Amino acid sequence: MNDTIRGLLAKHGNLPVAVTDVADAADLYDAGLSSFASVQVMLALEEEFDIEFPEHLLNRKSFSSIEAIEGAVSEILEEQAA
């Protein structure tokens, strides 16, 4: 999942640094992720994983790091499987 998230960030995140240079826990907004780009990443994640982000995860914290994105996607997938 990490590689998929990194690929989507590279394609849709419009980061000024290489995604490969960003640590899993690093703040993506500090790395240059804009609010607009975070929406683009969210839409790409929804399409890639066939999920929909619930309202409680539509916040800056959910997209603050690769680790946070992975946690949010995992939470959604677990809820769908239940």
Fold of 2-81: 1.10.1200
**Sign of the CA dihedral 61, 64, 68, 70?**
positive
- State pLDDT tens for residues 26-82: 999 999 999 999 999 999 999 999 999 999 999 999 999 999 999 999 999 999 998
Query: CA 78 to CA 14: how far, in whole Å?
Result: 29
Q: What is the pTM of this model?
A: 0.95
- 10 pLDDT above the threshold of 90: yes
